[in-house]
Structure 1
């Protein structure tokens, strides 16, 4: 769990309090996307949320605690998206399986690419959040390794290494090219990335 400096102060027990907390988080997402980490102040967040700064501090002690909430939500949403795809069943082809991982990463990056860059490039990442990030990545790698080890078309011998390379390649390229400052068209990018990884695994 995050330390006291990063923990939310109030956990809402009523619908109204929950709605206020969500308004703060929504406002913060807009403010950080518009102004960046340094200029994304709690005053601006409170103004965007249309509440007093005192009310904001009833829920969050500082802007870093709000950032941790946004980071955690983003990471958990991305992992949950992959889990839903895996639970729904996988295609037979390795290309179809790879497309699930690639598309999930793209969907998790393109809604608000500027906010994503603030969260993962500008803002400090506390150890507690990094631990969550690593656990989520390890789970995705484990799922990918199980798929690669069982698929008859996969020709690489070190499937554990291949799974880590595939997951890291998807995350890195999607972050740089879909959520980067000069984003490219996701549709042809998805096709090219899936084709590249398919050739690596089956060639």
Structure 2
């Protein structure tokens, strides 16, 4: 066997392992969304993935390890999402456009990955994910504060922080309704979230943004 073939074998095994892990994580996401984290089991995840429990245990020792890996990947993707969604706003952008663009990006992420809400905001969040959730929440609030500070230059830091928490709270409350509906009803709930945030922020922002 050539040196090249010997080097290729570990890479092939690694690629197969990565594909299997992705397969297990996708199955776990479906199970967690359907049953919730507490009621989920490794046997159910293995069955959903079409593999034996023994195969699953080759990669993950238990369902918490699966949830932590899945949550970690989603948190990484979510950080990229909110980085784009909360980018500085052009002064010519209307408040409606600014809020609409941010909400649409967050909603797109959450509807594409409903397990993120199931793991991060469910009543039975696995312990290993709590720290990642808290870090994400803290960073997200800081990014919202940064955006609001540019829109509310005369506001005190305490006012900006309070406003950021209210905005995030409104979004999270509305998100649960959005994920519980489909089609036109989902679209209507998304618009309700935007309207609530716009009406809340409009008197605080004043004429800082255009109304184009």
SS of equivalent residue, structure 1 residue 138: helix
1:90 lines up with 2:89 in the alignment = yes
Deviation at 1:156, TM superposition (A): 6.0
**Number of equivalences:** 186
Q: Equivalent residue for 1:71?
A: 71
Unaligned 5+ runs, structure 2: 1-11, 204-212
**Cα-Cα RMSD:** 2.8
Q: CA deviation at 1:116?
A: 4.9
Alignment of 1:16-95 (within 5 A): 16-86=16-86, 90-91=89-90, 92-95=93-96
Counterpart position of 1:111: 112
Matches within 5 A, 1:185-196: 185-196=185-196
C-alpha separation in 2, matches of 1:172 and 1:33:
18
Who is 1:172 aligned against?
Answer: 173
Output the TM-score relative to the length of structure 2: 0.73
Looking at structure 1, the residues matched to 13 and 151 of structure 2 have their Cα atoms a distance apart, in angstroms, of: 47
Which TM-score applies when normalising by structure 1?
0.76
- Gaps of at least 5 residues in structure 1 are 1-11
Offset of residue 40 of structure 1: 2.6
Structure 2: distance between partners of 1:124 and 1:148: 30
CA spacing shift, 1:13–1:123, aligned 2, 3 Å? farther
